[in-house]
Amino acid sequence: MTTELAHSGRAAQNGAPLTGGAPDRQVFLARLVLFFERAAPALVIAAAPFALIAALGLFDLWRHFGFWGHWAALFLLTALAAVLLWRRCPRPLRPSRAEALARIERDGEMRHEPLRALEDAPAAGSNALWRAHLADARARRTAANLRAPAPTANSVDPLGLRYAALAVLAVGVMVAGREAPQRLAGAFSPSDPAIARGGFADLWIEPPAYTGKAPLHLLRAADALGGTREQIDAAEGSIVRIQTKPGARYRLWLRTPGETTKAEREGEEGSARARLTLARTGTLTLSAGGRRARWPINVIDDRPPTVVFEGAPAPDRDGRLTVTVTIDDDYGAAAVVLQLRLDPDQPRPLDAPAFGAEIAAKTESIALDALKGAPGKRAAAVDLSAHPWAGLSVIATVKATDAAGQEGETLPVTITLPAREFFNPLAKAVIEQRQTLAVAPSEWRRTEWALSGMTLGPEFFFDRPTDYLLLRTAMWRVNKRAGENTRSTVEDFWPLA
């Protein structure tokens, strides 16, 4: 009896059930192996021009071809690869399911095509003979196997020159070292050979003047552009400067996490100079003529200065106030001042007026130039005996400012300013009224009356008429200004005493 057979497609149209011959994963792998075997000869022959391009790039030989020569060679070799790939590419390239099943049966040495039989069905319906045939196919299905792809590339490369090409590329990578990625990229992106030979630009980092450090040269006129360089440490606020040939086209930028800062031209459009300020750690990149050079930049933060008292300020034997502090700063302090505020809680004589509101809130700043300079422990002595607050309790701090404008100051300490001792009763009274006018300008009437009383009997209290006239003049000045702009008047009292 003859049984008509049809492929699964036709059987499915007749409503016959299908029975899978092999797992989908095994079929997929078989199709992948077949695809590789078919494509390998075309890929190997088409890869030869690209291997030549890469090898010339790794050994840095493209720079001898010139800019347009490089472009021409790249075009011709790419076109050759496309032609070889088209001519050698098999058609159809994609294997069918039936071909995948046949490959599994062949590798498993399975006779009578059991996998394909399990995916077939009789056109006239099932019968005992067909069921016996399927049972035999299922029994032989366990022998299904898939071997590694055959070396079909040998058909176009019987001498194995592809392995020699891989060896040459490996040697090229070792020769190029850290520049291998840039050379490979440059091989497929022609660049200006003048840039590769050097003499293209000067690139340097200019630290802030207050650091006292010399400029750091990243690229000199004789250096070639390309590659990744060693990390550079630079002070915060340093300026990257570049000087190129007139009309040169380039890009310079700093890439930091989340931000990219481009260099700004200096001068007119087309200027050969540009600058970029370093504020954060990142990668500095210079790109020109298809080549790039990168410098990892570590920006050293400029910390604010810190100032600590080495003991509370105290008078020395000459009556000067000695201030000893330790200043810590990256590059030293550019300015140091002693700040004084009147202590509002100090005891006052019963007949002394209260501090004026503006005076109580006022801060006196006295420059301490001896404390400027390099960080470390420093001391300075300042004569404050002529200060209107001499003899009063004050709250003192020392503030240091670095060249970047950052400030730091000590914790406040309460001290008594040293005062000069006067033995002449008249001089002592003048100094008291001077201080009253200084700390309580609104009580100027009190000072005027006191000065008026001192000058009632000039023949008894003054040895020289000029002293009397000076004191009388001061009294009228106090009266005229009526508590306004008293600073110059207060200063004039000191010579009188």
pLDDT digits (tens, 9 = 90+) for 131-141: 666 666 665 66
pLDDT at residue 112, rounded to an integer: 61
- Binning pLDDT at 50, 70 and 90, where does residue 322 land? very high
For domain 306-416, the CATH class is: mainly beta
Q: Which of 125-129, 264-268, 284-288, 346-350 has the highest mean pLDDT?
A: 284-288
pLDDT digits 0-9 by tens, 475-496: 667 666 655 656 655 565 655 5
Confidence category of residue 395, pLDDT binned at 50, 70, 90 = very high
> 354-374, pLDDT tens digit by residue?
787 888 888 889 999 999 888
**Domain 193-300, what fold?**
Dex49a from penicillium minioluteum complex, domain 1 (2.60.350)
Q: What is the SS3 assignment for the chain?
A: CCCCEECHHHHHHCCCCCCCCCCHHHHHHHHHHHHHHHHHHHHHHHHHHHHHHHHHHHCCCHHHCCHHHHHHHHHHHHHHHHHHHHHHCCCCCCCCHHHHHHHHHHHCCCCCCHHHHHCCEECCCCCHHHHHHHHHHHHHHHHCCCCCCCCHHHHCCCCCHHHHHHHHHHHHHHHHHHHHHHHHHHHCCCCCHHHHCCCCEEEEEECCHHHCCCCEEEECCCCCCCEECCCEEEECCCEEEEEECCCCCCEEEEEECCEEEECEECCCCCCCEEEEECCCCEEEEEEECCEEEEEEEEEECCCCCEEEECCCCEECCCCCEEEEEEEECCCCEEEEEEEEEECCCCCCCCCCCCCCHHHHHCCEEEECHHHCECCEEEEEEECCCCCCCCCCEEEEEEEEEECCCCEEECCCEEEECCCCCCCCHHHHHHHHHHHHHHHCHHHHHHHHHHHHHHCCCHHHHCCCHHHHHHHHHHHHHHHHHCCCCCHHHHHHHHHHC
pTM of the model: 0.54
